[in-house]
Amino acid sequence: MGNTESMESQLAVIRARAAPVKLPMPDPAELEERFSIALNSMNLPPDKVRLLRCYDNEKKWELICDQERFQVKNPPHTYIQKLRGFLDPAVTRKKFRRRVQESTQVLRELEISLRTNHIGSALVSRSNTLPSRKTLKNSRLVCKKDDVHVCVMCLRAIMNYQYGFNMVMSHPHAVNEIALSLNNRNPRTKALVLELLAAVCLVRGGHEIILSAFDNFKTVCSETLRFEKLMEHFKNEDDNIDFMVACMQFINIVVHSVEDMNFRVHLQYDFTKLNLDDYLEHTESDRLQVQIQAYLDNVFDVGTLLEDAETKTAALERVEELEENMTHMTERLLDTENEAMAKIVELEKQLMQTNKELDTIRDVYASANNQVHTLRRIVREKDQTIRRQSRLERHAQEGGGGTLVVQGGGTLHPARGEGDGGVGDLSSTSLTLGMTLSPMSNGPYPAPTPPPPPPPPPPPPLCSMESSGPLPPPPPPCAPPLPGCGGSPTVIFNSGLAAVKIKKPIQTKFRMPVFNWVALKPSQINGTVFNDIDDERILQELNVEEFEEMFKTKAQGPAVDVTLSRHKAPQKGPNRVSLLEANRAKNLAITLRKAGQGPELICRAIQTFDMRTVRVDFVECLMRFLPTEGEVKMLRQYERDRKPVDTLSDEDRFMLQFSRIERLAQRMSIITFMGNFQDNIQMLTPQLHAIIAASVSIKSSQKLKKILEIILALGNYMNSSKRGAVYGFKLQSLDLLLETKTTDRKQTLLHYIANVVREKYPGVALFYNELHYVEKAAAGECNVVCDIKELTYYIVCVCVCQCPWRTWCDAFDDAVKHFGESSKTMPPSVFFPVFVRFIKAYRLAEEENEQRRRQEQALMEKLEQEELQQEQEAPKSPSNRPKQRQQESLITELRRRQGGKDSRHVYEGKDGAIEDIITVLKTVPFTARTAKRSSRFFCDPTHTE
């Protein structure tokens, strides 16, 4: 019972100390004043100060109470005075024993005072004690291990301030004494020293000071090699993992934090001689393995680098060889393509000729077939007439005479005699198609209508005659007239418009944006690719609800047409004060000197098109000096004034004769064309072949036709409710597919079309593979063809190239008309680039869609993996959360470094930098960089959060 009561009393005392009596809150004005004083004493960064000022009064008062409760009442210089008393050699052993118990407490209070108060001028007093730390080391106080540890912590607190750090760095013995503290037997003290020295290494100029301190350590401790004692402690104290981690971290930083690569290799070799590499191979600690791996990642293997350099040299030589081979292969491929295009053109010409012959044969066959059918019908009608005539004769013979009345006015007079058995003359005009015999009765026939004069005598009554058989059927009706031989002219017109049915407007659920395409008129559809397109069937196959949802418009005003005509005012040439401008005359003189001939000879050669006298390159240079209108006026005025020509310079005299040539510009152009004609022909032939092949491939592509059908369907779906449905569109509308975007502005209409093709019509996705030589055809210029038609001087040469040119014209005209365009308004330089741009945009849309799908797939897999991981980690204890956060911070740091940002921190002279460095080094291992850097100090706020 007594023990229980004493324990309860001790707990009550602890609670009383832990929860002191709360003082009453002062008024707001005093509260703010005391809160400002507390914030100033904390020495916090500005962002933390702003955060604390946002607290309410209750939290502010708690913060003030906590600050005043834990604040050390004495400033640092008070404790420094006490320490000086401990260092007095005159202190007797008896007094020392009384004070030895107080030293550790004094040092701890000094360390707290240095961390929590403004040190101000106390650093000056503290710096006066730094030279006497050697005395402290040699005194009897050194036997107290905790005192050395707390002294190092005091120095760490001092160096955490800018002023104190500069004083310690500039002191001749301070860093040396810190390094000598590694001889202490306490592993915690040695780990603390190594962390502080590693942080100093990362400060600009600190690495040299640390190496100098270890050189002093080598001298004082009589080491054979530098860092020998450090390696002994590292190998022998393997039971203290914190010290080993700090030691490995220091080795990594001191070796790999220098800029000079040769110096890094030198420091690396210092530890190699101390058998660091062999020792690291047998270390199995997981915590130490992170620092070991960081060190190994930073190691420079000179042999490997040399092998890599040699491999790189060999690889560069191989790359150069491959590039040369690729150049040859490209040339061979170009030649092969030109040969293939030439063969294609030749086959295309043969195909066109064969098609023309086939059309002629078909026409002849159709005409002959019509004639055969007509003849067969005539023969069949004659056979029927002959059989009918024979039947009538047989009836007449069986009736024994009389007159056979035939409707239509014809009469038949049978013979009265019994012996001759013949019939009367049957006129061919009395029997016509469509006649029918009158029915016979037992009574006499009525008197027939008299035939044309002379009329025959009235026939006697015919006796009753019984029909020996059924009457023949009536003849067939008249055949319809042959095509083109008559009939209503509206038949062809109606048949031409039979394929064009009226399209009804489509009422959409949402308001759709307008696709500003250039539509074709219904009368322009015949003979084009749109004649066989059924866009309404496409709409039945597509998900138009998704299409509307993606492309519906937002609430916005009417679109403003910003297409305004821009006219540039013509620029007036500068007023000339002399016959020729100085620079122009100088350049003309240089050009004439290159010719080496007189002005008269040059002008005569230009007038007579003498290409042996003037070369083509000279004429091309001379075309830049064609006289302007102002120069011609000045030269003519000079002549009218009858001023002497000899006083003019050579350039002016040449320009005077040069300007007298009639049609000078046209003559120069003709000479240039004549000189470059063969080169133009050689250049033009592959272009003509490419245009022919591209025209044929575009016209015959069924996949491209399907793509246009999809575009027409979607365009009509968007526009029909506002502008009405169209039956086709101009090719320039393909460029507008990139301008029509979805509601979220992330995709274009072309992206949607690419998705539709991939999902609904996968066989059409590679339609651009059917369009051959389109890019080459788009790059060609056909100005030379116009010159061929205009010039007749080289008519023989023109006839040589006329055949492929005609083939080119026919093939290109067919391809252009196939899309409802005209070759006059759309030359090859406009026609083929439309498809080139469309193919490039379509491929880019496909790639962007695929990239978007991959990103979405990766995101989904990542989310599923995270959910699975969370489900697996849910039943585990929460002790793994700090480790997980550390791993996440490590991954974040590695990603940030891989992102190309500078992982180094620049020392900006602010307080708290040393603590930031030590905190970062405990979180992430040091990773060296090989690039050029301006500083080596960590001070990034991302590492302090």
719 plus 826 within the same structural domain: yes
Question: For 88-97, 165-174, 642-651, which range has the lowest pLDDT when averaged over its residues?
Answer: 88-97
Q: Confidence band (pLDDT; 50, 70, 90) for 88?
A: low
Average pLDDT over residues 187-212: 88
Choosing from 680, 713, 739, the residue where a domain stops is 680
644 plus 764 within the same structural domain: no
Residue 320 belongs to a domain:
yes
Structure tokens at 100: 């030895």
Judge whether residue 318 has pLDDT over 90. Answer: yes
Instruction: List, as one string, the DSSP characters of 84-120.
Output: HHHT-TT--HHHHHHHHHHHHHHHHHHHHHHHHS--T
Choosing from 28, 52, 68, the residue where a domain stops is 68
Q: What is the pLDDT of residue 320?
A: 92
723 plus 791 within the same structural domain: yes
As a dihedral over the C-alpha atoms of residue 632, residue 635, residue 640, residue 641, rounded to 10 degrees, the angle is 150
Structural domain of 632: 582-680
Neighbours of 532 (CB within 10 A): 10
534 plus 593 within the same structural domain: no
Q: What is the pLDDT of residue 789?
A: 53
Tens-digit pLDDT profile for residues 168-193: 888 888 888 888 888 888 888 888 89
Question: For 353-367, 758-772, 884-898, which range has the lowest pLDDT when averaged over its residues?
Answer: 884-898
The CATH number that applies at residue 835 is: 1.20.58.2220
Judge whether residue 48 has pLDDT over 70. Answer: yes
Question: For 77-86, 428-437, 787-796, 820-829, which range has the lowest pLDDT when averaged over its residues?
Answer: 428-437
H or E, element range at 405? strand 404-406
Q: Confidence band (pLDDT; 50, 70, 90) for 113?
A: low
672 plus 709 within the same structural domain: no
Of 409, 411, 404, which is closest to residue 445 (Cα–Cα)? 404
707 plus 841 within the same structural domain: yes
Question: For 165-169, 566-570, 795-799, which range has the lowest pLDDT when averaged over its residues?
Answer: 566-570
775 plus 744 within the same structural domain: yes
Tens-digit pLDDT profile for residues 500-509: 677 878 888 8
- First vs last C-alpha separation in the chain: 51
Residues of the chain with pLDDT > 90, as a percent, come to: 7
Judge whether residue 480 has pLDDT over 60. Answer: no
Q: What is the pLDDT of residue 170?
A: 86
User: What phi, psi does 269 have (nearest 5°)?
Assistant: -70, -30
Average pLDDT over residues 587-598: 81
724 plus 811 within the same structural domain: yes
Average pLDDT over residues 214-221: 90
Average pLDDT over residues 894-914: 48
Residue 2 belongs to a domain:
no
Residue 586 belongs to a domain:
yes
> From CA 338, how far away is CA 332, in angstroms rounded?
10
> From CA 749, how far away is CA 734, in angstroms rounded?
10
Tens-digit pLDDT profile for residues 237-273: 777 888 888 898 899 898 988 888 888 889 888 888 8
Tens-digit pLDDT profile for residues 117-132: 555 444 444 444 443 3
Q: Confidence band (pLDDT; 50, 70, 90) for 86?
A: low
Helix (H, G, I), strand (E, B) or coil at 911: coil
Q: Confidence band (pLDDT; 50, 70, 90) for 144?
A: low
Choosing from 348, 375, 395, the residue where a domain stops is 395
Between 755 and 104, where is the model more confident? 755
675 plus 708 within the same structural domain: no
Q: Confidence band (pLDDT; 50, 70, 90) for 803?
A: low
Which pairs with CB-CB distance under 8 Å and at least 24 residues apart come from 213-218? 213/175, 213/176, 213/178, 213/179, 214/179, 216/176, 216/179, 216/180, 217/176, 217/179, 217/180, 217/182
Q: What is the pLDDT of residue 101?
A: 54
Residue 276 belongs to a domain:
no
723 plus 623 within the same structural domain: no
Q: What is the pLDDT of residue 497?
A: 43
Number of domains in the chain: 4
Average pLDDT over residues 910-918: 72
Among positive and negative, which fits the CA dihedral 602, 604, 610, 612? negative
Among positive and negative, which fits the CA dihedral 597, 603, 608, 614? positive
Q: Confidence band (pLDDT; 50, 70, 90) for 382?
A: very high
Q: Indicate the burial class of 561 (C-beta count within 10 angstroms; 0-12, 13-18, 19 or more).
A: exposed
Q: What is the pLDDT of residue 372?
A: 94
Q: Confidence band (pLDDT; 50, 70, 90) for 569?
A: very low
Residue 361 belongs to a domain:
yes
Residue 726 belongs to a domain:
yes
Helix (H, G, I), strand (E, B) or coil at 504: coil
Note whether 214 and 227 are within 8 A (CB): yes
> From CA 631, how far away is CA 840, in angstroms rounded?
50
- In the predicted model, what is the mean pLDDT of the chain? 72
> From CA 297, how far away is CA 299, in angstroms rounded?
6
> From CA 337, how far away is CA 630, in angstroms rounded?
51
756 plus 839 within the same structural domain: yes
Judge whether residue 485 has pLDDT over 80. Answer: no
Q: What is the pLDDT of residue 319?
A: 94
Read off the amino acid at residue 192: L
CB neighbour list of residue 125: distance below 8 Å, 6 or more residues apart: 76, 77, 80
Q: Confidence band (pLDDT; 50, 70, 90) for 404?
A: very low
Residue the block writes with tokens 């050194």: 142
Residue 742 belongs to a domain:
yes
Residue 150 belongs to a domain:
no
Average pLDDT over residues 605-630: 83
713 plus 757 within the same structural domain: yes
